Amino acid sequence: MISLEHVSKTYRMPEGQLEGVRDVSLHIPKGTIHGIIGVSGAGKSTLLRMVNLLERPDQGKVFVGEQEMTALSARQLRESRRSISMIFQQYNLVLNRTVSRNISMAMELAGVPKPERLARIEECLRFVGLEDKAQQYPSRLSGGQKQRVAIARALANGPKVLLCDEPTSALDPQTTADILEVLHHINRSYGVTILIVTHDMSVVKKICSRVSVMEQGQIVRTVAADELEAIGNA
């Protein structure tokens, strides 16, 4: 479903070049939940953002399904990104839009008719358990509720792939468990392929089938989640 073939990314910094990702290859089968774990600065988020080309690799190829993302024109890339949604650590909600209008945004951009948008908003809010928050503004919500809204927004266009960049690191343990259960439910109910970046070993143990460990821009090992004990604090 997701294949990265020898991708690399280098940044030009005042002090010289910084290798964010170095010659990484990774295959994630359709319908699985795959974790990427590592310390801050290991290259996890850069690798994640290469999947939808928010970060374009300097070399290598990216495939999602049968499409080579790195070969698409700008118009084709915009179309392809509609099947790839993303959620973030800091939610990225629009503060002057209600919950309902935050979820509506991607559908508005895609030209979805209003009656269909309203039905989909209701469905997504019901899925994440926030039916009563449709007309609230983000400032009135808890951190866990904000992340649920972000997940509902990510589901609105019916994605095939969900990219999660540290989605629980700002949350308390119980709220983290609740959000992970929502993500697991998405995977089970819709067959969405999920790629989740985290620094927290317990997160990948909870929901991932496999996990890749990154160090200094490289994947140093990929193992089944039930083998995590063997890699200790790597």
Q: CA 218, CA 119: separation in Å to the nearest integer?
A: 43
The answer to the question of residue 126 being in a domain is no
* pLDDT band at residue 170 using 50, 70 and 90 as cut-offs: confident
Give the length of the chain. Answer: 234
CA atoms within 13 A on the CB side of 121: 22
The predicted structure's pLDDT at residue 233: 46
Residues β-bridged to residue 2: 28, 64
Model pLDDT for residues 11-60, shown as the tens digit of each residue? 988 888 888 999 999 999 999 999 999 998 899 999 999 999 999 999 99
The answer to the question of residue 138 being in a domain is no
The answer to the question of residue 169 being in a domain is yes
The answer to the question of residue 150 being in a domain is no
Domain count of the fold of the chain:
1
Model pLDDT for residues 183-225, shown as the tens digit of each residue? 999 999 999 999 999 988 889 889 999 999 999 999 999 999 8
**CATH code for the domain of 34:** 3.40.50.300
The answer to the question of residue 104 being in a domain is no
The predicted structure's pLDDT at residue 234: 43
Q: Which domain holds residue 47?
A: 2-92+159-231
pTM of the model: 0.92
SS3 26: strand
The answer to the question of residue 101 being in a domain is no
Pair of tokens at residue 101? 């209008």
Q: CA 54, CA 30: separation in Å to the nearest integer?
A: 21
The answer to the question of residue 181 being in a domain is yes
Model pLDDT for residues 120-145, shown as the tens digit of each residue? 999 999 999 999 999 999 999 999 99
String of DSSP letters for 168-223:
TTTS-HHHHHHHHHHHHHHHHHH--EEEEEES-HHHHHHH-SEEEEEETTEEEEEE
* pLDDT band at residue 230 using 50, 70 and 90 as cut-offs: low
The predicted structure's pLDDT at residue 94: 95
The predicted structure's pLDDT at residue 229: 62
The answer to the question of residue 211 being in a domain is yes
